[in-house]
């Protein structure tokens, strides 16, 4: 059915909303890392050591597959109901995880948390795009990036404290008051004015997209680990994913209100920034997955030291992200992204050269340089995409960008894991062979450098328009004043 165009206006207190968004984002970020140090306590209590990797995989999977759907819904019914649903699901999942009685139950409840995270992250960033001007957005994105930096350090430490001195269950119970505060603050301060209209929800598209993404991401996450790449489960997962993906494309071509309007991929800016996000996801997973194991095995450093080396990556990120606004307003998005990815390439080359001769300080310094470069890549490329579209497409664009980063991480896990496992398997002593681990890490870091170099190509293909040329200016009928 047709109706009047969607209208949106805001009557909101930006400061309290930003604090609520940072709090909600912090919860998601911490829960991505806090469980890692508590795994021994969880296994000791619930058993089933072989299943514990699913605590992480199911969370990532549920989050990744739900992002595109939530993003479309936020463009349809508004941002506020979607982020509140996300916070509510995350709260429910946290409560259930805290009371989990078995490993399968905890895995299932982590999926509920992941579904909540899939709504909170893209909607938070979309709200920032709605409330803040182009000039303000990079600084605000820097604040949100700083939340991830702090969480990367606080998360593992907090998990260790809870599991050692209280109970691993408090890892989840501590989320309860924080979710309530974030939700209450958004209810009180964030007000949208959405003109009512009827929608034709694309149920078929949502179902086929969920099946496609679930099958493909599961195949990438579990291939080479839960089953061999050339096994029947691997072929079946990729086959189901491919068939569902083809069906999704056919459905979207006829849908009145498609989950992902395929027309967005005819726009050069959207395509290039999506590929940039894929590269960022691959670079991040390559470093965060292999730097700790590399340092702990080759140098025998304790986990907290190897964790700090990875934290250097996220410490450099918010610094450059906060400075990016001044740069892209002056020289444009494309030039800013190119500078950032060039810095990241230098850092990746550095960690590759250091790998054969382990040194914690040099590895941490290289990670810092990479993070500093990525801060000038991730935020400006996302802001460029957001700024080029109207309110009614901003959620989908943001969700597509964030999903691409998750997909890049999933593909990165598969590729880097295959490289490392092949080298380590060739050694008679396997993971106990320090030289083999060093060789495997060197190969992975070289692959990260290649991923960064490929991201340069995507950055070069970005439009040369200035930041102000790309900024979308809404027509009068699209917005209602505060």
Residues 41 and 124 in one domain: yes
pLDDT of the residue at 469? 57
Any domain includes 262: no
pLDDT of the residue at 31? 80
pLDDT of the residue at 112? 95
Any domain includes 478: yes
Residues 414 and 297 in one domain: yes
C-alpha distances in Å from residue 6, one per residue of 9, 193, 262, 396, 477: 10, 10, 20, 15, 9
Q: How far apart are CA 221 and CA 242, in angstroms?
A: 16
> Structural domain tally of the chain?
3
Range of the domain at 166: 7-199
How do beta strands 479-480 and 8-10 pair?
parallel
Any domain includes 274: yes
Residues 21 and 44 in one domain: yes
| Owner of token pair 């603050």 | 185
Residues 360 and 412 in one domain: yes
Any domain includes 295: yes
pLDDT of the residue at 478? 39
Per-residue pLDDT tens listing for the chain (482 residues):
333 334 444 545 788 888 999 988 888 878 876 776 677 788 788 876 667 767 877 887 788 888 888 888 888 888 899 999 999 999 999 999 999 999 899 999 999 999 999 899 889 888 888 888 777 776 787 777 778 767 766 776 677 777 777 788 988 998 999 899 999 999 988 887 766 666 677 788 888 988 988 888 778 777 766 777 788 988 999 999 999 999 989 998 888 778 778 887 888 999 999 999 999 988 988 887 778 778 878 887 776 677 777 778 878 887 888 788 778 888 889 999 999 999 999 999 999 999 888 888 999 999 999 999 998 998 889 888 888 887 778 888 888 888 888 888 878 877 887 788 788 878 877 667 788 888 888 999 999 999 999 999 999 999 886 655 555 444 333 333 32
Q: How far apart are the first and last CA of the chain?
A: 29
Residues 472 and 340 in one domain: yes
Residues 86 and 16 in one domain: yes
pLDDT of the residue at 12? 56
Q: How far apart are CA 49 and CA 55, in angstroms?
A: 11
Residues 373 and 332 in one domain: yes
pLDDT of the residue at 5? 38
Residues in the chain: 482
Residues 424 and 453 in one domain: yes
- pTM value is 0.80
Find out whether 138 and 379 touch, Cβ atoms under 8 Å.
Answer: yes
Residues 50 and 25 in one domain: yes
Residues 42 and 185 in one domain: yes
Any domain includes 2: no
Residues 237 and 309 in one domain: no
Residues 474 and 360 in one domain: yes
Any domain includes 1: no
| Cβ neighbours of residue 331 closer than 8 Å, sequence gap 6 or more | none
286-295 per-residue burial string, b: 16 or more CB within 10 A, e: under 16: bbbbbbbbbb
Question: Residue 5 gets which letter from DSSP?
Answer: P
Any domain includes 374: yes
pLDDT of the residue at 238? 92
Any domain includes 70: yes
pLDDT of the residue at 471? 55
Please give the full DSSP string across 63-127, using - where no structure is assigned: HHHHHHHHHHHHHHH-HHHHHHHHHHHHHHHHHHHHT--SHHHHHHHHHHHHHHHHHHHHHHHHH
């Amino acid at each position: 059915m047709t109706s009047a165009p969607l209208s949106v206006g805001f009557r909101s207190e930006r400061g309290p909303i930003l604090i609520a968004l940072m709090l909600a984002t912090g919860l998601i970020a911490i829960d991505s890392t806090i469980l890692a140090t508590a795994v021994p306590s969880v296994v000791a209590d619930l058993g089933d050591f072989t299943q514990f990797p699913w605590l992480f995989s199911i969370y990532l999977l549920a989050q990744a597959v739900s992002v595109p759907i939530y993003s479309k819904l936020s463009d349809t019914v508004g941002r506020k109901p979607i982020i509140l649903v996300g916070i509510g699901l995350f709260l429910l999942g946290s409560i259930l995880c805290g009371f989990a009685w078995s490993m399968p139950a905890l895995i299932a409840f982590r999926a509920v948390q992941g579904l909540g995270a899939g709504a909170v992250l893209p909607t938070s960033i979309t709200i920032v795009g709605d409330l803040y001007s182009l000039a303000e957005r990079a600084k605000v994105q820097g604040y949100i990036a700083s939340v991830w930096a702090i969480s990367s350090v606080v998360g593992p430490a907090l998990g260790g404290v809870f599991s050692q001195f209280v109970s691993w269950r408090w890892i989840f119970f501590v989320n309860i008051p924080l979710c309530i505060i974030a939700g209450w603050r958004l209810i009180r301060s964030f007000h949208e004015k959405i003109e009512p209209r009827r929608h034709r929800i694309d149920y078929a598209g949502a179902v086929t997209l969920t099946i496609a993404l679930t099958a493909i991401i599961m195949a990438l996450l579990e291939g080479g680990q839960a089953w061999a790449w050339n096994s029947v489960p691997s072929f079946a997962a990729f086959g189901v994913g491919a068939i569902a993906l083809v069906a999704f494309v056919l459905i979207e071509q006829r849908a009145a209100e498609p989950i992902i309007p395929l027309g967005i991929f005819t726009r050069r800016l959207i395509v290039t920034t999506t590929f940039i996000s894929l590269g960022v996801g691959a670079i991040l997973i390559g470093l965060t997955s292999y730097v700790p194991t590399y340092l702990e095995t080759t140098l025998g450093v304790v986990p907290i030291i190897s964790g700090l080396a990875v934290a250097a990556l996220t410490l450099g990120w918010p610094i450059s992200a906060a400075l990016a606004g001044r740069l892209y307003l002056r020289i444009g998005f494309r030039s800013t992204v190119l500078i950032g990815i060039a810095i990241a390439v230098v850092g990746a080359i550095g960690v590759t050269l250091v790998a054969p001769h382990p040194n914690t300080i040099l590895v941490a310094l290289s990670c810092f340089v990479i993070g500093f470069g990525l801060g000038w890549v991730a935020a400006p490329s996302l802001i460029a995409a957001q700024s080029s579209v109207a309110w009614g497409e901003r959620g989908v664009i943001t969700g597509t960008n964030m999903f691409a980063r998750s997909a890049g991480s999933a593909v990165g896990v598969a590729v880097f894991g295959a490289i490392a496992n092949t080298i380590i398997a060739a050694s008679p002593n396997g993971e106990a062979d320090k030289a083999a681990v060093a060789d495997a890490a060197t190969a992975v870091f070289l692959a990260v450098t290649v991923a960064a170099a490929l991201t340069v190509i995507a950055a070069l293909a970005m439009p040369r328009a200035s930041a102000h040329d790309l900024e979308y200016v809404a027509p009068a009928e699209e917005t209602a004043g505060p």
